[in-house]
Amino acid sequence: MTETLLSIGHGYSARELAQSLGPGWRVIGTSRSPEGAEALRRTGIEARVWPGEDLGPDLAEATHLLTSVPPGASGDPVLTALGETLREARHLRWVGYLSTTGVYGDHAGGWVDETTPLTPATSRGAARVAAEAGWAELGLPLHIFRLAGIYGPGRSPLDRVREGRAQRIVKEGQVFSRIHVADIAQVLAASMAAPDPGSVYNLADDEPAPPEDVIAFAAEMLGLPVPPAIPFEEADLSPMARSFYAESKRVRNDRIKTGLGVHLRHPDYRAGLAALLETERAATIR
C-alpha cells in the first residue's frame, strides 16, 4: 500500500525526510516558484507551486501532511488559505507541524522541556505560539516538532568558516541548542511510523553550547584560523541575527528518545561536524 505525504513548504528539513522514506512512499511537495518546483521534480518529488495551484485534490489523496511554512505578520498562511479544507480532512493519519524552540523564550541558560510554559521573547516566537494553537484547533492528528538551530550539508559552521562569514560572537552565559537535519528526518519518520496525536517533541541534540565554541571547533577541524572573539555589544549583526541572542536556553530532548525510541546519529555538534567533513572528503576522493 502506497502512503502519500503532502509536504507544504518542502524545504531543507522536509527534503531530508523525503530522501529517507522508503519506496512505498509518494511525496508531493510545494514550492513558492515554478523554478523551485522544477528543482523538486528533479529529485523525484511531485511538485506543486503554492500559493497558486489547488492543493485540494492532493490533500484528498494524502495520508500524511507536513507543514514547514512559517507564520507571517498576518498569521499562518496555510491555515489562512486551507483551514476549512483541512478541518474536514479526517482521513489524515498523521499531521506534522515544524515549529521552533523559540516558543519558550529566554531562560537565562536554563533547561526547558515540552512542559515548559510558552513565554516567547520575540515576535517570531509569539507568531509560532499562535500558529501551534491554530493547528491544534483543527482537530487533526497533530504532532508538533519544536526545532532547535538546524545545521547540515551546505548549512553548517564549516561552510561559514570556509567562506569567511563566521563570527565568534561572545555574550556571557549565551548557549544555543542545535540539531542535525538528518536527526530531524529520523524523528519525523519515527513519529509517522508510530503516530501519537497531540504529542509535542523538542528536536535538539544532547549538548547545548556557546556559539563561539562551535565556530572555533569548525575552524580547527578545517585547519583554518579561529576567528577572533567579538563582544556581542560590538558585533555587526542584522536585527534578526541580533534577536537570536535575546534568548539563551538549554533544550531537553528526552521525549524523542523515550517516546519514539530515537538514537541521535549526531548527539553533539562535534559528532555532527565531523560527519559532515568526512562525507565531504569522501565525495572529493570519489
Q: Where are the domains of the chain?
A: 70-285
Q: What is the pLDDT of residues 100-152, one digit of tens each?
A: 999 999 999 999 999 999 999 899 999 999 999 999 999 999 999 999 999 99
70-285, what's its fold? Rossmann fold (3.40.50)
Q: Are 143 and 201 in contact (CB under 8 A)?
A: yes
Q: Is the pLDDT of residue 210 over 90?
A: yes
Q: Are 61 and 2 in contact (CB under 8 A)?
A: no
User: Percentage of the chain with pLDDT > 70?
Assistant: 99
Which whole number is the average pLDDT over 149-173? 96
Nearest to 240 by CA among 124, 160, 151, 127: 124
